[in-house]
Every structure is written in C-alpha cells, then in structure tokens.
Amino acid sequence: MVTDSRRSVWSRVYATATWTLIVAFVFLAGAHLVLTVLFYLGIWEQGVGYVFDYEWPVWLIMVIDALAAFLLWTGYRRGTDSPWLGLTLTSVASLIMLARALWMVFVPISIVLTVSGSIGRIATFRRRAEVRT
C-alpha cells in the first residue's frame, strides 16, 4: 500500500510539472502571437525573440513555443501506451524549452521532473510487461 501511495504522489508531481510547462509555453506562444501582430502593425518596435541570447524573428519564437508545448503534450498523452515515444518527444520538447527559457527558475526544475517521470513510465511499462509474461 505504501508503494501505491508513493507512486500516486510521483504521478501527481510528474503531471503537475508537465502541465505547468505546457501552460507556460502555450501562454508564451500566445504572447508572441500578439507581439508578432503588433510588430507587423507598426505598434510594437521589437520584432525579435531570443533563443540562448540569439535574436530570432518573433513569429519564429511563437512557432517554437507552440511546437514545444505540442511535443510535450503529445509525449505526455502517448507516453502511457508507448513510453519510448513519450520520452523522445519529452526530450525534444525539453531541449527547446531549455533553449527558450533557461532563465526562468521553474522551467529547468519542471523539465527535470518531467523527463524523470517519462523515464519512470518506461520502468513501470517494463515491470508490467514482466508481470504479464
């Protein structure tokens, strides 16, 4: 019973970290969409965003943020059936998120928890496969 309780807590931590990142990057994508529109309307004068301190067009930053959120969401959803695919998608999304928001304190911490949870899914999947055989 203690094992189930710990697993349940870990599952909640993993889900919270993952959804925190998804919501943050959807918000960032939306903010960059607004900034893109304002830039092309001539209202906002800065049309760039940053990846590792390098300037990129703000529309590309919007696409990158949306792609990171989509990959993480897809990896989270598909990770229950196919944990290796989930880990791959989570890893790619994590690299993008680190490149975009390393300066935010919660992003690296949430990424560590999310990747750890994805690896934990692989271990759980293997244990279930061993029990079935």
Cβ neighbours, 10 Å, residue 98 = 15
- Asked if pLDDT for residue 23 goes beyond 90, the answer is yes
- Tell me, what's the pLDDT at 49? 77
Range of the domain at 108: 2-132
- Average pLDDT value for the chain: 87
Work out the percent of the chain whose per-residue pLDDT is above 90.
52
Residues 127, 67: Cα–Cα separation, whole Å = 32
Residues 111, 97: Cα–Cα separation, whole Å = 8
Q: Give the predicted TM-score (pTM) of the model.
A: 0.85
User: 23: which 2 tokens?
Assistant: 């919501």
What's the number of domains the chain is made of?
Answer: 1
- Tell me, what's the pLDDT at 1? 38
Query: What is the average pLDDT across 2-31?
Result: 84
- Tell me, what's the pLDDT at 2? 47
User: 104: which 2 tokens?
Assistant: 């935010």
Model pLDDT for residues 78-120, shown as the tens digit of each residue: 988 889 999 999 999 999 999 998 888 999 999 999 999 999 8
Of 24, 7, 6, 9, residue with least CA distance to 108: 24
Residues 29, 46: Cα–Cα separation, whole Å = 16
Give the gyration radius of the chain's Cα atoms.
Answer: 18
Residues 72, 93: Cα–Cα separation, whole Å = 6
> Would you call 46 helix, strand, or coil by DSSP?
coil
